[in-house]
Chains A and B, each alone.
Chain A
Amino acid sequence: MMFMKRFVYLILVFAAVAAVTGCEEKVVPLDIQIQLFSDNAPLAVAGVDVAISDASNVYTVATDAAGRARFTLLPGTYSASATFKTVEGGKRVAYNGSNPGIVVSNVMLYPSGEDAFRLELQKVESQQLVIKELYNGGCPQNGGAGSFSNDAYVIVYNNSEFEADATDLVFAFMPPYNGHAANKFYGADNTLIYADESWIPAAGAIWSFTSSVKIPAYSQVVVAIFGAVDHTATVDASVNLANASYYWMSNSGVAQYSNKKYAASDVIPTGNYLTCYPFNMGNAWTLSNSAPAFFIANMSKSENERISNDTANFDLTNGNTNVGWSVKFPKSSVIGALEVYSASNIEKSMPRFTPELNTGYVALTNKMGYSIYRNVDKEATEALAENTGKLVYGYAGGTEDVNGSTDPSGIDAEASIAAGAHIIYSQTNDSGKDFHQRKTASLKK
């Protein structure tokens, strides 16, 4: 019995010693590494802020050239996250992701064979350059005597905070000329014959810039489609396109076009003349003033040359003679698509773009001075810190009161831009959601 009591006392002494010894152990911070990953591969991007937090603290460290952020942390469990935007191949790209399972301890639980925690980022792409506005429907002449439509223009906008290179931007449209015209590209099964192809047909000609064109963040370029002159001199409701910063589709420089009736103001420098790659159709460049399928693309000059001249690249579906061809335009090069239907012919209209490029349509009543204008991405625009106090709400420029459409964001984009705001426009690849019919062209001051 005595042996048992001694044994118990001994255990208690050891326990007390052990307890006293434990309370006095020092907590040591540990170095950890977090490596950015994307699509299951290391993402070597420098300068990306990686945030790591626990219940009470947030620490932020920028990545090094290898895309790695180094932290010194007390043992514990943390959540890491990172987000950054960049431009890749002319596309606006956002990376973001988080890893809530960063356990810091003496024994780091890095993935097997690695020396850093993984922070997997999801890549979200959107085009940097967008069609902001297409004004193609014309406007009433003075006194209501007919209409005028030589004043068409298109605005391309840099929808990002990074400078955009538009040098290789291409402008084109798809056949048929009007959305409500007979569409020979619909096969017997009532689907587009190019639905599963890598191309879409382009009609007539394609245009590209002749000089280097850089568009600053949240800025735009205006391209006059027909006459780059002050149309308000003869038509009050029209627009003034005689502006040195504007570009011009130089119909007069095309040997194929015997009809060179469109002119440019002397204030527009030669470098702002676009080059045309004609392949057929008509004696002048033209664009539907009611229902075009208009698109922009990124393509090199040499590729423009090739697709316009290589007869193997021709598609004869829309032709009835040896001059009725379209060209096969690579879908992968298309960066913006706008499907416009004539408001009075919607029931007869059929989509021309394939779904990966565009779904939906926006209706246009032509000859009224209306234009097709892109809606504002309200959430993204309001999220820009620099926009605080600069956004103008209560947009009244839509045409919903005349059975048209309006911008559901309620933000008056042009007024906001004038107030110094940066506008991010909607990019859902659905012309019905991305565009509305504006009461007056934005250049109509």
Chain B
Amino acid sequence: MSSVKRILLVFVCALSCLGLRAQGFSLSGVVTEKNTGNPVEFATVLVEASEQWAVADAKGRFTIKDISVPKSVITVACLGYVTYSIEISITKDIPSFKVQLAVDNLTLEKAVVTAKENGNSATTARTIDKTALEHVQMMNVSDISGLLPGGTTRSSALTAEQQFNIRAGSGENGFSSFGTAVEVDGVRLSNNASYLDVRNYGIKGVSTNNIASANVESVEVISGVPSVEYGDIGSGIVKVNTKKGKTPWQLTLSTSPRTKQLSVSKGFALGYSRSGAAAGVLNASMEYTRSISEQMSPYTSYVRRQVSLVYSNFFNTGAFQSKPLRISAALTGNLGGLDNSADPDLLVGTYSRKRDNALRGSFTANWLLSLDWITNLEFSASAVYGDRLASENKQYHQSVTEIALHARGQGYYMSAPYVPGGENPVVMIPAGTWYNVMSVDDRPFTAKATLKANWARHFGAVSSKLKIGADWSADSNFGVGLYSEDISQAPSYREYRYCDNPWMHNIAAYVEDNLMIPAGSGRINIIAGLRNDNTVIRGSAYGVTSSLSPRFNAKYTVLEEKGRRGRFVRSLAFRGSWGVAVKQPSFSILYPVPGYLDINTFTSTASADNVVYRAFYVHPSTIEYNSALRWQKNHQSELGVEANLAGNKMSLVAFWNRTLDTYQLNTDYDRFTYNYTGTADVQGLPIPAGDRVYSLDPVTGIVTVADKTGRYTSVQAPHTELKQLISRTFENNEPGPVDRYGLEWVLEFKEIKPIHTAIRVDGRFYSYRSTLCNLIEYSPYTTTGRDGMPFKYIGYYYGSNQVANGSESRSLSNNITITTHIPKVRMVLSVKLEASLLNYSRALSERPGGKRTYVVQDRADVLGFDPSASVYDGESYAVLFPDYYASFDNPVREPFLDKLRWAKDNDPELYSDLSKLVVTSNYLYQFGKEYLSPFFSANVSVTKEIGDFASVSFYANNFFNNMGQVYNTKTKVYESVYKYIPSFYYGLTVRFKF
């Protein structure tokens, strides 16, 4: 017996001894297929009230013992079948509970091709199941965003990374997509170990491109306040569930103008051992997807080759007879990525490739203990490893010596020819043409382990489900960052080994209770939880950061649907939620790739063979640790109402989210004086250019010219002392909140039976507002001072050094989906009209207690601003003055505007320089209200099953090929509607089962 088994057995025995067996009744029965009567093996039977469960054996039989709840909803689910639920009383042993499961296909009376509201949830959660996924022919799981209320359809190719962004818009403060968590079969996909350049790209959420789409069984989107078991989130969770269970072979072929897909999958039942124990089920799937960005140039492609194996089994014999154990282990590998090497328009031999390889493994064990103090114990562990090596082979050319900087230490450096094995801080690459491959080795790794226990109890009619858990997660990156295989000809780059940075560990503990209290003919559901996260980053200034995330959900079901079929108000429920979600930072925030300021302090003339020497002062501009950095928090709250009125279902949710302490990269300035030697300073020296050897004092930067032939004596070149401000950046928290609120509605009208047609109206009103408040330092670097020297003044601006320090937007979108489902011909046809009825945005310039920007008529006369006029009234130029300024020579901040006024009359040179810190708007309509006229798009989808053997789906987005224009009230121009809706696009999928 292995040590692991031994430990497990001891643990089982200990629990058996410690635990007091619950007294209760048993539920036994059989699960069969409705039409054939065949047993449904591996069907899961769940007693929802007590959270006890069983798995059906080869004959469809199951038994759940020690049920101590008087009544409960029994849910029976199995892959390929419609989930069955029924509420029963369990006041005695039930020996022969029979369940018939219907095969999930279009012969059923009901087929839903939109997102379904999770009616039992106390927060906003929606599920998109297999029927809907197949109907929309999802190629990227983020495509399902279009099925959420007010969602719009995209026809995106996989050549661009796609992310989820729940209850937020693009281009907003707060990095909302970074805060949207994505899980595949419980495995968290994270971008925490990303080193994406924050300065240029912001912080994005995890890409969904490498998640195979054909093997997805369902996707659940939790937009509201989730359970405390979900940590490291900002707003929203997307849970992708793949197929698990016994299935026939399934072959899927999809095509659209830009994407082709082939997938094969099967769920193998592995039989039973001689002792009668189930050997489990192995689900295997393979998918090949290739996507191009443009039909006209189909050479830049993204390929996804994915293999997935999921083994699941349950143990209910021997030691586990009374305490069954269910396990699942999964391994998924993806090979693929972006590649443009086939593009004939590129220079021969050049290419750009980016891997998107991934390996995901997970293990989950759920042990039904059914003890008085614990019901289930669940352990799960997962690891995700990514290989995102990005390589680019480029052609380089210089007609004089090229300089490549690799120096990382502060100081002066003179360029020198490459020395194999040497330090080579500043390499001279001989003039000519050459090729070099630069790569970014980015290999993020995330591991997570969770131990969770739940305890279902009853206090009379009140039921309680207590959940206690702890989890540990760790993020690291095994990549070495930027590198070249041939440093002798590599362009400037600095080594920054991702793998040398410390791991980020997070240890969390949480507790949550889910109370169900009967109330009249309805019930009240209260969920309250608290999560504590402790992020540990050893070896850095961040140390240990602790945060608390309380969550609270309440739902009052006034009327339940059961027994009210003939009534007008068949069900009615109200709910409210509030919670705080804390998002851990990414490595690009914690350890951003350092930047370097390379000041060219000397450039020689070119010799006859075009050799040029250059000297540099290298100033590492590393992003400083901010030990006071707080983790970004999102306060979520929502109110909802759900009702069934005469068979018409409605759901209305109002939400308000406020994100605090958003991550923001700030800049401050250091003062630096260096010695500069101009080309003219060495031109004309008696030493012939070809014989010169340039050397440099590494401390002073003074250049000495020597004659390699020895004919002339060495000469020290003259130099000039220059002063320069050097920027430094650091991660900071922005105190200005990011506010988002909105309304989501879904109206599902009762099916019009004679024509098998249902109408659904869903939509969303969304509002966003954010202004920045940090005092921002800024010194323009593309201008000189009045004295012709580097600019030496720094401005301190409220919120931003732009005339706007924020923005607001509002949008209203509404979709009408008409679905005709004809079971007899096994076909479903849907037409979805997507309407954008309000699309508003406006730049903001605000500060508490006063004006931040002023109206100015003549931008060259900034002091002629009108102190009383508002930039929001009519069209006008706006001017922003920094609050303070400081100079290279005087770091003390002085009030800006008074000094500018004084300088205008008394110091023209200072006035000229300070004027360069004044920011004006470029357009008269900078703060104008931007309304877009309404625009529409219609999409058509049809799915037809051909017996049980095959099905075909076809879709056409923007079916009517709307090529209209949208009027922009701000710019007063008409724009193509294609900027907002997809152009006519179509796709076809054929599925075979055998």
Contacts and interface: CB of A to CB of B under 8 A. Distances in A.
A229 B680 contact: no
A93 B802 CA distance: 51
Interface in A245-300: 250, 252-253, 255-256, 258-261, 263-266, 268-270, 273, 278-283
Contacts of A280: 780, 782-783
A281 B403 CA distance: 23
A388 interface: no
A273 B916 contact: no
A64 interface: no
B397 to A, nearest CB: 6
Interface string B778-818: 00111110101110000000000110000000000000000
A209 interface: no
Contacts of B433: 141-142, 145-146, 234
Contact of A263 (B612, B678, B802, B919): B612
B710 to A, nearest CB: 19
Contacts, number: 151
Contact of B922 (A242, A255, A269, A320): A320
A255 B722 CA distance: 8
A315 B782 contact: no
Interface stretch (A81-89, A172-180, A321-329): A321-329
B683 A227 contact: no
A233 B680 contact: no
B976 interface: no
A252 to B, nearest CB: 4
A310 B922 CA distance: 19
Given A229-B610, A309-B786, A141 B397 contact: yes
B920 A263 contact: no
Interface string B570-600: 0000000000000000000000000000111
Interface stretch (B501-509, B549-557, B601-609): B601-609
Contacts of B790: 255-256
B622 interface: no
B94 interface: no
A252 B600 contact: yes
Interface in B368-427: 395, 397-400, 403
Nearest to B722: A255
B112 to A, nearest CB: 48
B435 to A, nearest CB: 9
A263 B922 contact: no
Contacts of B88: none
B399 A323 contact: no
B600 A238 contact: no
A283 B600 CA distance: 12
Contacts of A312: 860-861
A206 B603 CA distance: 22
Contacts of B911: 311
B912 interface: yes
A269 to B, nearest CB: 7
A234 B789 CA distance: 35
B257 interface: no
A316 interface: yes
Nearest to A323: B780
A73 B793 CA distance: 78
A145 B606 contact: no
A125 B976 CA distance: 50
Contact of B347 (A146, A242, A250, A321): A146
Nearest to B677: A252
Contact of B399 (A145, A150, A268, A316): A150
A264 B922 contact: no
Given A146-B397, A264-B679, A311 B609 contact: no
A276 to B, nearest CB: 10
Nearest to A282: B782
A148 interface: yes
Interface in A385-417: none
Contact of A234 (B397, B598, B861, B912): B397
A150 B606 CA distance: 14
A266 B784 contact: no
Nearest to A231: B399
A258 B724 CA distance: 11
A270 B680 contact: yes
A263 B401 CA distance: 9
Contact of B678 (A235, A252, A268): A252
Contacts of A235: 397, 399
Contacts of B789: 255
Nearest to A260: B600
A309 B434 CA distance: 41
A233 B784 contact: no
Contacts of A145: 347-348, 395, 433
B600 A258 contact: yes
A153 to B, nearest CB: 13
A273 B680 contact: yes
Contacts of B605: 263-266, 268
A163 interface: no
Contacts of A256: 782-784, 790
B395 to A, nearest CB: 5
Contacts of A323: 780, 782-783, 916
A146 B600 contact: no
Contact of B400 (A229, A282, A314): A229
A355 interface: no
B604 to A, nearest CB: 8
A71 to B, nearest CB: 59
B679 A311 contact: no
A266 B782 contact: no
A150 B400 CA distance: 10
B606 A316 contact: no
A100 interface: no
B247 interface: no
A229 B786 contact: no
B679 A250 contact: yes
Nearest to B972: A188
Contacts of B915: 311
Interface string B43-58: 0000000000000000
Task: Count chain B CB atoms within 10 A of each CB in A234, A315, A322 and give the residue with the most.
Answer: A322
B918 interface: yes
A295 B384 CA distance: 60
Interface string B428-441: 00011100000000
Nearest to B791: A256
B828 interface: no
Interface in B663-678: 676, 678
A168 interface: no
A156 B614 CA distance: 31
A266 B607 contact: yes
B65 interface: no
Contact of A227 (B400, B912, B916): B400
A250 B680 CA distance: 9
A309 to B, nearest CB: 5
Contacts of B400: 227, 229, 263
Given A269-B683, A273-B679, A252 B860 contact: no
Across chains A and B, which 10 residue pairs bring their CB atoms closest together, nearest first? A266-B689, A311-B915, A266-B605, A320-B922, A322-B919, A252-B603, A260-B600, A270-B680, A263-B612, A231-B399
Given A141-B397, A250-B680, A266-B608, 6 more contacts: A148-B397, A256-B790, A266-B605, A266-B607, A322-B920, A323-B780
18 contacts: A150-B399, A229-B610, A234-B397, A235-B399, A250-B679, A255-B784, A255-B788, A258-B781, A260-B600, A260-B614, A264-B606, A264-B679, A268-B683, A269-B684, A311-B911, A312-B861, A322-B917, A322-B920
Interface of A: 141-142, 145-146, 148, 150-151, 184, 227, 229-231, 233-235, 238, 242, 250, 252-253, 255-256, 258-261, 263-266, 268-270, 273, 278-283, 309-317, 319-324
Interface of B: 347-348, 395, 397-400, 403, 431-433, 598-600, 603-610, 612, 614, 676, 678-680, 683-684, 688-689, 722, 780-784, 786, 788-790, 801-802, 859-861, 911-912, 915-920, 922
